[in-house]
Amino acid sequence: MNICSFWVSSMKIPFHGCRFSRPFFSLSSSSRNRIMTIQSSSSSTSSASISTESKEKKKENLPWLIVGLGNPGKKYAATRHNVGFEMVDAIAEAEGISMNTVSFKALFGKGLIGDVPVILAKQQTFMNSSGESVGAIVSYYKIPLKQVLVIFDDLDLPFAKLRLLSKGGHGGHNGMKSVINHFKGNTGFPRLRIGIGRPPGKMDPVAFVLRTFTKQEREELSFTLQDGIEALRILLLEGFDKSATFVNSAKKMEQTG
């Protein structure tokens, strides 16, 4: 039997063993154009997806800036106005981050907390000009404001209590006022307030914030700093809401009261 006697279905077209001058089928020009359009569209969509993912990944890799406000120099080192510095020092020690770089009018160090890149900073301008340093760091590293945590002392918060907020005004704090001014009035960045209590009697608040802590206050403050370290870890690794719950819950406030 001739090999060309093999037929496909009821159509008398030899399946193999025979030569054909043309293929079984051909596409019309309109069909080919449709396929090419679909392929091109698919390729464009894929490229756009890769580009978006790349941008998101790049954004995720931007560091957090953790900045504590205070005044430079030994004269102010242990004063109430410098608890922001003390919190950053405590974080640096706990996380093994060396703070030996001086730039942008700040003393700072880079490292990781978990797998999150961070910059720890203590501005070396005086408190009232804090924004000069903080603004320069944010601008240079292109850090989103939602990833800038500013830590500072608060006269209106009971001593040794913490309060974490996602945004807000300066509350009369000159360091925060300077930071907000250098952020062009934008207040949408997180801040960790550390209570230093109110001045006794009719003492001038300016004089009070430059006072050192008593021995008992220093012991109590050490627990607050440890809570602050834990709050930061939760913030970076689990998100703002969980950290705010940890810091601001009634139970926590009672523990520190």
Q: What is the pLDDT of residues 167-213, one digit of tens each?
A: 999 999 999 999 999 999 999 999 999 999 999 988 999 999 999 99
> Is the confidence at residue 124, as pLDDT, over 90?
yes
Catalytic residue (choose from 16, 81, 170, 182): 81
**What pLDDT does 89 receive?**
98
Q: Please report which residue ranges of the chain form alpha helices under DSSP H.
A: 29-60, 83-95, 130-141, 174-182, 205-209, 215-238, 240-248, 250-256
**Which range (13-22, 68-77, 86-95, 228-237) has the least confidence?**
13-22
Q: What is the pLDDT of residue 43?
A: 52
The C-alpha angle with vertex 179 and arms to 178 and 180, in degrees rounded to 5, equals 90
Q: What is the largest CA-CA distance in the chain?
A: 119
Residue with tokens 């705010």: 244
**CA-based Rg of the chain, rounded to a whole angstrom?**
31
What pLDDT is stored for residue 33 in this prediction?
58
Mean pLDDT, residues 210-223 taken together: 95
| Whole-number Å distance between alpha carbons of 225 and 213 | 14
249 pLDDT tier (thresholds 50, 70, 90)? confident
The 10 Å Cβ neighbour count of residue 161 is 21
Structural contact between residues 64 and 117, judged by C-beta atoms closer than 8 angstroms? yes
What's the pLDDT score for residue 61?
A: 81
Q: Which helix (H) or strand (E) holds 3?
A: none
Residue 173 known to be catalytic: no
- The verdict on pTM exceeding 0.85 is no
Mean pLDDT computed over every residue of the chain = 84
**Structure confidence by residue, pLDDT tens digits, 28-47:** 555 555 545 555 555 555 55
| Token pair belonging to 50 | 């890769």
Distance of alpha carbon 101 from alpha carbon 254, whole angstroms: 39
